[in-house]
Amino acid sequence: MHVTTLFDRPDAPMEAVVRRSWPDWMFGAEGADLLGIVRRFPRHQVILFEGSELVAVGNSVPLAQVPDALPDDGWDWALRSAAPGPHRCALAVSVLPTHRGRGLSSQVLRAFGPTLVPVRPNGFTGGDFAEHVAATRGDGLPVDPWLRTHVRLGGRVEGVCSRSMTLRASPDAWEGWDRSGLLAELTPDGVYVEPNVWVRHG
């Protein structure tokens, strides 16, 4: 296994791995241009190879400033605010479906170092979001699998960002997509507003 950055391997098929790791809606719907924006900051894109195959990617952006009160539109704010500076915000970790369940995402998260993350608690299936985020197991770690990974690595939960990512598409387009992984209901006119939880590493 080899962890490096897009700066060192500009030839790596980063975008292909990200697109193959997410359901259609993530890049089919209109929203902040993750892949276009992160390309501007190759040193902030973590890539993980097994042999010659790129199998996992971590996208992040630098930030010049971070307000004391972390924004309620976490993901969208970070992409809008991306600019050279001392802070970092991690936006997505993508592990190829064939390589999941082996902790590769933790290798990617470690490579980020100190960073903010608007985490999408991927075990949320409805009900009260804040309660889901706060729910812990007998060992004190979060019930939610992806949030648990962050907390196990030392991440501190700072609070909910309730409208972190907004995506828009026609209701017909949504109808045609595999909608697995959505964390919130769509509005009748096809707007998706995803809640996340702010986590700080380091």
Ligand X SMILES: CC(C)(COP(=O)(O)OP(=O)(O)OC[C@H]1O[C@@H](n2cnc3c(N)ncnc32)[C@H](O)[C@@H]1OP(=O)(O)O)[C@@H](O)C(=O)NCCC(=O)NCCS
> Interface with ligand X by CB under 6 A: which residues?
21-22, 92-95, 100-106, 120, 122, 145-146, 148-149
According to DSSP, the β-strands at 191-201 and 156-168 are: antiparallel
Closest distance between ligand X and the C-beta of residue 103, in Å? 4
C-alpha–C-alpha distance, residues 193 and 160, integer Å: 13
SS3 category, 117:
strand
With respect to ligand X, which residue has the nearer C-beta, 71 or 74?
A: 74
In 22-85, which residue ranges form alpha helices assigned H by DSSP?
Answer: 24-28, 34-38, 74-81
With respect to ligand X, which residue has the nearer C-beta, 1 or 170?
A: 1
With respect to ligand X, which residue has the nearer C-beta, 55 or 66?
A: 55
First to last CA, the chain: 24
**Do the Cβ atoms of 117 and 150 come closer than 8 Å?**
yes
Closest distance between ligand X and the C-beta of residue 1, in Å? 12
Closest distance between ligand X and the C-beta of residue 35, in Å? 14
With respect to ligand X, which residue has the nearer C-beta, 67 or 101?
A: 101
With respect to ligand X, which residue has the nearer C-beta, 112 or 174?
A: 112
Closest distance between ligand X and the C-beta of residue 189, in Å? 25
Measure Cα distances from 68 to 5, 71, 120, 133, 202 in Å: 29, 9, 21, 21, 16
Closest distance between ligand X and the C-beta of residue 145, in Å? 3
